[in-house]
Amino acid sequence: MSVISLVTGASSGLGKEIAKLLCKKGHIVYVVARRKEKLLELQKECVRETGKIIIISGDLSIHDFRGSLIKKILDESKKIDYLINNAGLGRAIKLEDIKTEEIHNMFEVNITTYIHLSSLVLKNMKEINKGRIINVGSVVAFTPLPYFTAYNSTKSAVYAFNRSLRYELKDSKVTSSVVLPARMKTGFAEKAYDCYMEDGKKVCVEKFNKVAGNPEIVAKSIVKNLDSGKEVILPTFKSFLWYTMRYFGFAVDFAMKNILGPKELKQLNESKLKGDYNESKK
């Protein structure tokens, strides 16, 4: 019988790598994202694998789309074996500068979508007496980076959600895990930062990616742990290090206040060039 997986945020980065690996394992993989052209590229990449990619393009921040998404999959496949909640977005910005709609959208995509989709698949998973929900969080749930205040809050919520869900599922065959990756080269920085220099060079992205890891490594760890039942998946040594640092709050506080915080502020100050640059290019 076919294995059915749903991967959100699959048009690029980590979600794309997860979908490719699941397809290689022979899964029927439903992939969801707004950019249909990127999903079509993914589908072409996997055409020779043993599994199959099925595209559903749409905006996960829309409540009704999420409901129709799960209904479509269950109507077609009768079950969902694995739900990989991966979609997410972030913004590097001083809290006083962030717009209310940005906050709402971030929470809608990063945590409300996770909770809603999980609630929609749980009834089916319990009926077939098996299922796995994997929620992609971040190490910033424990070591929050300055100037990503709203984003950090959503990732803390993902961790809390997963932990609460596990308590609810303790007497069932359905399990959930939270993945805590460190920085990855996923395209996240391109959307989170707006640090253009006079020549159009996006300096913040380059600086971010210098210390960012490979999403393929994280994806391999997730797929390796598909059926492990672990509460927390730490895909890299950096993940383990930052996760462990929560026991050393004084060290984290020192690093955030004196090293990482000033570094992020410097990058945000560089982004003040953004307005002039964008206006000049119109």
Q: Where are the domains of the chain?
A: 4-280
- Evaluate whether the domain defined by 4-280 bears CATH number 2.170.260.10: no
pLDDT digits (tens, 9 = 90+) for 10-55: 998 899 999 999 999 999 999 999 999 999 999 998 988 888 999 9
From the CA atom positions of the chain, what is the Rg in Å? Answer: 19
Instruction: Tell me the pLDDT of the chain averaged across its residues.
Output: 86
Mean pLDDT to the nearest integer, 250-267:
71
SS3 242: helix
Report if pTM > 0.75.
Answer: yes
| Kind plus residue range of the DSSP H or E element containing 27 | none
pLDDT of res. 27 = 96
Q: Would you call 257 exposed, middle or buried from its count of C-beta atoms within 10 A (0-12, 13-18, 19+)?
A: exposed
| Kind plus residue range of the DSSP H or E element containing 247 | none
Instruction: Give the pair of three-digit tokens for residue 37.
Output: 């052209």
Instruction: Give the pair of three-digit tokens for residue 2.
Output: 């076919």
Taking Cα atoms as reference points, which of 130, 123, 145, 117 lies closest to residue 208?
Answer: 145
pLDDT of res. 4 = 97
> How many Cβ atoms from other residues are within 10 Å of residue 215's Cβ?
22
Taking Cα atoms as reference points, which of 245, 224, 243 lies closest to residue 234?
Answer: 243
> How many Cβ atoms from other residues are within 10 Å of residue 117's Cβ?
25
- Looking up tokens 């990855």 gives 184
